Amino acid sequence: MSESTAATDDRRAPDERRSTDECTLCGLPTGDAPVTDGDVDGGYCCRGCLEIARTLDDVEAADADEVRSERKTGTENAPEDADHTYLAVDGMHCATCETFIESTAADADGVYGADASYATDMLRVAHDADTDLEDVRRVLDRYGYGVGDPDDTDEERTDTQLVRFLIGGGVFGMMVMMWYVLFLYPSYLGFEPLVDLGGFDGLYLFGNVWLMSSIVLFYTGYPILRGAVVSLRAGQPNMDLLVSLAAVSSYCYSAVAVLVGGTHVYFDVTVTIVIVVTIGNYYEDRIKQRATSGLSELTSAHVDDATRIIEDDDHETVPVEDLVSGDRVLVRPGERVPVDGTVVDGSAAIDESLITGESIPKTRRSGDPVLGGTIASDNPIVVEVGTDATSTLDRLVERLWQIQSSRSGIQRLADKLATLFVPTVLVLAVVTTGYHLVTGSTVATALLTGLTVLIVSCPCALGLATPLAVASGIREAADRGIVVASDAVFESVPDADVVVFDKTGTLTDGAMTVRDIVVNDDADDTDADAVLARAGALERFSAHPIAAAIADAAEETLDAEDVETHDRGVTGVVDGEQVVVGHPSLVESRGVALTLSDESTMADARNAGRVPVVVAWGGRVRGVIVVGDTPRPEWETAVAAIGGDRDVVILTGDDERAVSRFRADPNVSEVFAGVPPQAKRETIERLKSRGTVAMVGDGSNDALALAAADIGIALGSGTDLAGDAADAVLVRNDLDAVPEVFAVARGTNRRLRRNLGWAFLYNAVAVPLAVFGLLNPLFAAVAMGTSSLIVVVNSARSLD
């Protein structure tokens, strides 16, 4: 997936970073007449952004430098015409990998910079349009990182991990431990060995153990060894380095012991370390796999080519990157608008749901602005390319990447600790070895003591603490109908202070249907079925979603003749009568007067957040069909259960009138209507000043807000992008499951903290014992295994 973006630098305060023709809050174009208010500074693209600024004007959104404080932004200085390609990277499991991959990719010819995201296993490369990224793929592949397209499935990657674990750990690892249990451990504990360890049988036994341990270390443990090498090259010691040193040291010591005729070998330590850490890494990788396709829906909607109009109305197909301000492009019905611009010819119902979240398409005519990524539903239009020749859709992709890749993940805590813990342990092991040599111990004893320090310090319990607790939390959530897509659910403070709900598709069912048919009081010879049948006969010829809802509701099929579609409705002959269906202005333009009763019916519909469609024939209005979506039956109980100590906020791209029923609920603290996706994200950032923020949504337009929130929750009926951007997905598609998310998060968070507490307590006790020579490598391995077992048992317990 490659796309050109020209995202602006977003690191300044909102009021400082917007130009005069951009919304002060979200950055969308404001046109020639921005929405302003004397009480609020700046100009805004819509009333929704202005109201958010008015309500939250004392809180600035989190500065992008702070949001991305953990990241190296290698692409931020790339030229504006640079291509940005997103790649999935297999094997990136710590912050050190990020640094190494970024620097390696940036060194390739034609690459301006690269950003790696450990949180999503993604790499974004800014490069020249003519640059082939095969060199980047080849170099990273040489270091063991698999590079592929984010749209590819994870099946091959998962199979490789599973085979590596089963062959190395399940087969050869168990064979090594069987040799130890039957022959070596009894002799180490003082029992008579079953075979002569000093003879040919012993040589055969040690040869088998050595060979199988080598397979476990160098095949199953390859990702760990690679991580250690990467950490050395990057100059950032990580847990892989310490694990590798412990595993390799015990392996090398045992190999030398076999060569010189020794019988005390510690291949079992190597096998135990590799298998235990591999299990932890496998759990973590499974959790992250869902995030690798996080940009799939938006990037699949990206427009690569446009139909540019040249002289004499001739057309030519050109790459979107070649469009310049002032070009005119043709957008046919069903096609996406390639870039932001202004309609100069024609009119069409524009579906903006992917961008703005508004469920009802808006009719755009000559002179009206349109956003890149929106769809012309019913008619062709000609669009003049805007000043920057950029797409709002591309800016959404860029922003979503920044938010998702900035997420730290719980395991980053271990990586930070590793920068201190690993060097400390290494120095301690060397000092311990040197001390025992100086004080008269034999070389073998001194080396064993130093090796014991490394083994006992091996962070297996620390490495398992997070993934096992998270895996158990995921299992508990699944039992409750919740799919956990990111460990951020358990990392963030579970007790959210603010819960933000999207409206359309979340608090409502999101489907446009006929909600009511009001027959005119004066139409004594007409009933609701006749009104719906004649309207449906004409609406079949329109591609508008509201027309489709009416056509679907009409059970009786009538024939229509001389049908004409208009900007705001349809006209035609049905049963010998000239029928008009659509907006009141279309009906009035046909010489049909609206009565006070009609006006009242339409006002009631609009106040309820629905759309009135007027049906007239015979020179008068026969009825009004009311179309809209319906609130979910459980929305009030869910909001009541979540409210109380928390603020409940509703964000929607729909009109203010569509949320009146929600504003009246006593458990709803605030409602913001007419809010575009960028403003949703900015609102979330401002609401964070009140504490931890959870966002509940379902649509692609909610993805930015879901990703920016401390906890993002998506409904199972929502779009793929919403699910990918969220931290949890409700499989039951039931709002009553939202409180369960917080319950699981709280319990898992407690379990995780206990695991980490035990892991650090173990090291605090075991390391001093090893330093003073009170442990040997075997008991160190047993202690290490015991601490890991305690973590496993704690993780397996039911949530409390």
Burial of residue 101 (CB within 10 Å: 0-12, 13-18, 19+) is buried
| Active-site choice (83, 121, 340, 502) | 502
Measured CA distances, 723 to 631, 648, 710, 719 (Å): 21, 21, 15, 6
Phi/psi at 68 (5° precision):
-110, 30
CA-to-CA distance for 321 and 670, rounded, in angstroms? Answer: 41
Q: Alpha-carbon torsion 612, 618, 620, 623, what sign?
A: negative
- Whether residue 657 contacts residue 638, with contact meaning beta carbons closer than 8 Å, is answered with no
Catalytic (active site) residue 502: yes
* Residues making up the chain, counted from first to last: 800
Q: What is the DSSP string of 550-579?
A: HHHH--S---EEEEEEETTEEEEEETTEEE
Angle (CA) 62-77-111 rounded to 5° is 130
For residue 398, which amino acid is it?
E
Q: In what order do the strands lie in the sheet with 305-309?
A: 315-319, 305-309, 328-331, 381-385, 341-345, 369-370
In this structure, what token pair is assigned to residue 722? 């919403």
Q: Alpha-carbon torsion 465, 467, 468, 471, what sign?
A: positive
* Long-range contacts, 186-192 (Cβ 8 Å, 24+): 187/263, 188/264, 188/778
- Could you tell me whether strands 122-127 and 362-364 are parallel, antiparallel, or unpaired per DSSP bridges? unpaired
In this structure, what token pair is assigned to residue 211? 């060979």
3-state helix, strand, coil split of the chain in percent (to 5) is 50, 20, 30
CA-to-CA distance for 223 and 239, rounded, in angstroms? Answer: 12
Measured CA distances, 766 to 275, 418, 457 (Å): 21, 18, 8
Instruction: Map 451-488 to HEC letters.
Output: HHHHHHHCCHHHHHHHHHHHHHHHHHHHHCCEEECCCH
Burial of residue 420 (CB within 10 Å: 0-12, 13-18, 19+) is exposed
Total Cβ atoms within 10 A of residue 574: 21
- Whether residue 276 contacts residue 461, with contact meaning beta carbons closer than 8 Å, is answered with no
Facing residues of 693 across strands?
Answer: 498
CA-to-CA distance for 237 and 239, rounded, in angstroms? Answer: 7
Closest of 633, 661, 742 to residue 696, by C-alpha: 742
For residue 24, which amino acid is it?
T
Total Cβ atoms within 10 A of residue 682: 28
Angle (CA) 68-70-75 rounded to 5° is 60
Facing residues of 502 across strands?
Answer: 651
Phi/psi at 551 (5° precision):
-60, -40
Q: How far apart are the first and last CA of the chain?
A: 44
Distance of CA 611 to the CA centre of its chain: 34
Catalytic annotation, residues: 502
